[in-house]
Structure 1
Amino acid sequence: MQIDQLYDIYKAFPKVVTDTRHIAVDSIFFALKGANFNGNAFADQAIAAGAKYVVIDEPQYQKGDHYIVVEDVLSTLQHLAKYHRSHLNIPVIGVTGTNGKTTTKELLHAVLSQKYKTYSTVGNLNNHIGVPLTLLSINNSYEIAIVEMGANHVGEIALLSDIAQPTHGLITNVGKAHLEGFGSFEGVKKTKGELYDFLQENDGTLFLQSDNVELLEMANARTFNKIVRYGFSDQNDVTGKLLYANPYLSISWKMKDTTPIYELTTRLTGSYNIENLLAAIAVGLHFEVSPIPVNMGIEGYIPKNNRSQITKTAKNTIIADFYNANASSMSAALDNMRVLEAEHKVVILGDMFEMGEDAYAEHKKIIELAKSLRLDRLIFVGEEFYAQREPEGEYYRTTEEAKSAIPTIENSFILLKASRGMAFEKLLEQL
């Protein structure tokens, strides 16, 4: 079957699923394979659950005209998404970065939705499967789209850019994350920079935090016809200033060569989020959203999914920030604790995953930074932290072990920060 023929089927039945638990009536099921599963084996189940068609790549599972056999299901899904993208005559904003890309994506959505019917990546569908699913969820009623792109290996952002074909893009920052896959910090910069490469080659518009040394260096190594700059110094098109971050973030901002200064108060915590706010402001203004609606969109945004999210319980106030963690985001979260005003401050930190050969050194740096804050309690959880335990602080091998220590914490401002695999929601339940 040619891609245009498959596209005709998709247009007639535009609901695409890859999990039989989420089959919708008249959907198309793509039978993906993984290390421990073979979607082809679930083709019959998908049809029985209501799927109109199943796309498979093992002919022995074919049982009729509604079983479409292709050479490779994943590449077919990606090819179909790219083909669909070519039929969408709308701006597509690609967002990547080490930290803050999901928060930035959601802030962009909040701002652009003030004027346009906007589609953005749902949850964290930002990889080689998620990006195609995102694109195939966009229909002709949408006026603009935001596609989050994640990676943990060199070449992945290039692949996702080729599929999503962004007309605009931004990198939030580059830091030490997924070093196991990238090999080094230079590998991180090379991979994230693949979005810049695509924009350069396709005359796209770059949104640049031009006070970020690494991002500025990466941009200057390429040629762009259209750059919108944001940051903290006066040469930017949008300039911002921190007003307050205790605990919620308030900023002022202005446009270049204009006199009005705007202020806004968010439901986000963490001064590190100011760059994400300025990105959303810059993008909104570029797409002619007026300043007041820009502020309205941002002020109405409520973070979720344990990203810079303040949670108040009967006993404590908690910064729930354990969706993910790496060396740069952990440092930023600790620096934020330094400026927060509270009588009792506690940090509970869990291991950072996928740090490769840098794991020992990076966890050591975090221990030293946490000690410098002079907080009421320092609690470290996970094998990496436990391997270098010191007299100062409390150390536990696992999250389950740490649960025994935390019920005694009361009337405190607590940072919960760890990689997702540490399952810190178990600790949140007891605080």
Structure 2
Amino acid sequence: MIIRSIDAIIRMLDADYIENGNIEEKIKGVCIDSRKVVEGNLYIPIHGINNNGHLFVQQAIDNGAKAVLWERKEENPPEDVVVILVDDTTKALQELAKAYRKQLHMKVVGVTGSNGKTSTKDILASVLKEHYITQKTLGNYNNEIGVPLTLLSLNEDVEVAVVEMGMENLGELSFLTHLVEPDIAIISNVGTAHLENLGTMENIAKAKVEIVEGLNENGSLIYNGDQELLKNAVREKEIPGSISIRTFGMDKRNDYIVSAVRQKKEGIYFSVTPSEQSSYFLDMIGKHQAMNATAAMIAAKALHVSDEEIQRGFTNIEKTGLRNELVVCDRCLILNDSYKSNPQSAIAALETMEEFEVPYKIAVLGDMLELGETSDQIHYDLGKETARFHLQEILTIGDMARYIAQGAFNHNTDDVKVVYFENKEELSEYLFPYMHKDCMLLVKGSRGMKLDELVNVLIEKNKK
């Protein structure tokens, strides 16, 4: 984490201050949540949608804040800590992160994509730890607040940082990549996430390719070459010749070709050409993870990590929760993939469940959010797609998920049970008896649906 004197922080921000304490004292880390402040932190009060962090400054001080940022327009600055005056605390957080990033002697890999960026980040960080002192984005800290906090959480001795970057609109990734200044950029893929904001898939691809704008000179871009939309966006970007470009995918025209992907209960096996190793094992489930692992492998090799180290990293991954998480609940195997959902990731989750030899399979599908004006048709089409999977029951929940149920009902065979549920309470009551049967349950929905709560209820109820 950032450890600097208060005076150094003031100079990094070129800010004015109120000297209510010793500016030679050091701050240790930053925090934007007054409840989570610990001794020595710099407290940065942010204006949120519903809250103004300035109102909670006393709690931050009581918890041990050594100094605080303070917007000039805010009244009654505190009198018992050093107050650093800024025009906008969010912008000051970003400026501080950018200044700190420049002071660290490290390589940075930036990761983005509609699906798979968190898994790619987790895989790559695991691999790099075999060779370097490595840190990564924790959780989903991947936006205009989370990315600066990620940078400020890095230790002085870090050698490689893996930073996840998200976006919802054009221009956002451009801003983040200029903060991060990656040496290597990975685009896992382009999907329908944020179609509501960006309007077209072409715009989504353009938004993802913005990541190259902050790439360091002689940097590397690694992207999914199976997607024509992404290839076209890269061509149109007019990327400088000093930046090397590598593609991965199953198409034989890619620089790195993924093949022979096999799903087993313990994980997946796959091959990559060219490679010194005939095949790899990855401690994750879902055949699509082979693509994410290949992107991570290319980045690791660019940083001189050996094949042996890559394979060791693949077998010991610290995974971010709620993504393709296998949970055993009595006799039921639950595939908890409740962090996010869009058509591509939902199909990938269904394909993953298809690989398991379980006698009875139930898919719980919730709303996929931010899909724009054609959301009803997209949900209906997902329901239609379920017909190609061996499912015994399709259960849906959410306003838009009614269309999933309709598509499933219209296109699945008569022996597939399709049920729509109004709420999670009814759904959990219905599902609980299945915990005592040999079956598999997929739980998939956008984060706003909070379907992880459904999984937690089933697990806790089974314990009792």
Q: TM-score, normalised by structure 1?
A: 0.92
Please state if 1:145 is matched with 2:161: yes
Which one-letter code corresponds to 1:430 in the other structure?
Answer: L
Q: Give the drift of 1:374.
A: 4.0
- Say if 1:32 and 1:74, in contact at 8 Å, map to a contact too: yes
- Report what 1:399 is aligned to: 424
Task: Mark the CA change 1:384 to 1:100 in structure 2 (over 3 Å): closer, same or farther.
Answer: same
Give 1:100-139 correspondences, 5 Å limit.
100-139=116-155
1:415 corresponds in structure 2 to 442
Give the match for residue 414 of structure 2: none
Select 2:225's aligned residue among 210, 228, 231: 210
* Equivalent of residue 18 in structure 1, options 11, 18, 32: 32
Which residue in 2 is equivalent to 1:430?
Answer: 458
How far apart are 1:271 and its partner, in Å?
A: 1.0
The 5 Å alignment of 1:321-340 reads 321-340=337-356
Rate the CA distance shift 1:157–1:297 in 2: closer, same or farther, 3 A. Answer: same
Q: 231-240 or 137-146, which moves further after superposition? A: 231-240
**What's 1:242 paired with?**
260
Change (3 A) 1:374 1:82: same
Greater mean deviation of Cα atoms: 305-314 or 239-248: 239-248
Residue deviations 1:383-406 (CA, integer Å, cap 9, x gap): 112257445511112222212211
- CA separation in 2, counterparts of 1:207 and 1:341? 35
2: CA distance, partners of 1:84 / 1:217: 35
User: What SS does the corresponding residue of 1:24 show, helix, strand or coil?
Assistant: coil
Aligned length: 428
SS in 2 for 1:403: helix
CA 155–10 in structure 1, closer or farther in 2 if over 3 Å, else same: farther
The Cα of 1:277 is off from its aligned counterpart by 0.9
C-alpha distance after superposition, 1:53-97 (max 9, x if no partner): 011114413133612221000001101111111222321111010
1:295 corresponds in structure 2 to: 311
Q: Kindly provide the amino acid, as one letter, of the partner of residue 291 in structure 2.
A: E
- Give the 3-state SS of the residue equivalent to 2:156 in structure 1: coil
Mapped partners of 1:393, 1:421: distance in 2: 23
Matches within 5 A, 1:19-418: 19-57=33-71, 58-64=73-79, 66-199=82-215, 202-221=217-236, 222-223=238-239, 224=241, 225-233=243-251, 236-254=254-272, 256=274, 260-386=276-402, 389-390=405-406, 391=409, 393-409=418-434, 410-418=437-445
What's the offset of the Cα at 1:352? 0.9
3-state SS in 2 of match to 1:119: strand
Per-residue CA deviation, residues 203-222 of structure 1 (Å, 9 max, x unaligned), is 42111232332332222233
Q: Distance in 2 between matches of 1:320 and 1:6?
A: 47
With over 3 angstroms needed to count, the CA separation of the structure-2 counterparts of 1:247 and 1:10, relative to structure 1, is farther
> In 1, are the aligned partners of 2:272 and 2:294 still within 8 Å (CA)?
no
Question: What secondary structure does 1:146 align onto?
Answer: strand
Question: Which amino acid is 2:155 matched to?
Answer: N
Contact kept? 2:143, 2:165, Cα under 8 Å: yes
| Whole-Å separation in 2 of the counterparts to 1:283 and 1:400 | 45
| C-alpha deviation, 1:183, in angstroms | 2.6
Instruction: Look up the SS of the partner of 2:288 in the other structure.
Output: helix
Contact kept, 8 Å, 2:394 with 2:405, in 1: the verdict is no
2:402 and 2:74 map into 1 onto residues whose CA distance is 50
Q: Distance in 2 between matches of 1:277 and 1:100?
A: 10
The superposition leaves residues 7-58 of structure 1 with CA deviations (integer Å, 9 ceiling, x where unpaired) of 9979931410000111011110001011211111112221121100011114
- Conserved 8 A contact 2:70-2:85: yes
By how many angstroms is 1:295 displaced? 0.5
Cα distance 1:388–1:424, how it changes in 2: closer, same or farther (>3 A)? Answer: closer
Q: Which amino acid aligns with 1:298?
A: F
CA contact (8 A) 1:43 1:56 kept: no
**d(CA) in 1 for partners of 2:186 and 2:224?**
9
Task: Please tell me whether the aligned partners of residues 321 and 415 of structure 1 are also in contact (alpha carbons under 8 angstroms).
Answer: yes
Deviations along 1:331-366, one digit per CA (max 9) or x if unpaired, are: 222233344432222111111112221210111011
What is the CA–CA distance in structure 2 between the aligned matches of 1:388 and 1:261, rounded to whole Å? 42
User: Per-residue displacement from partner, 1:81-129 (whole Å, max 9, x unpaired)?
Assistant: 1111122232111101000111110101000000000111111111100
CA contact 2:35–2:59 (8 Å) conserved in 1: no
AA of the residue aligned to 2:183:
T
Larger mean CA deviation between 208-217 and 46-55 belongs to 208-217
- More deviation, 122-131/295-304: 295-304
1:116-149 Cα distance to aligned partner (Å, 9 max, x none): 0011111111110000001111232011111100
CA RMSD of aligned residues (A): 2.4
Kept after mapping to 2: 8 A contact 1:371/1:378: no
Distance 2:451 2:425 in 1: 9
Secondary structure of 2:391's aligned partner: coil
How far residue 235 of structure 1 moved from its aligned partner, in angstroms, is: 5.3
Aligned to 1:99, the other structure's residue is in SS state coil
User: What letter corresponds to residue 126 of structure 2 in structure 1?
Assistant: A
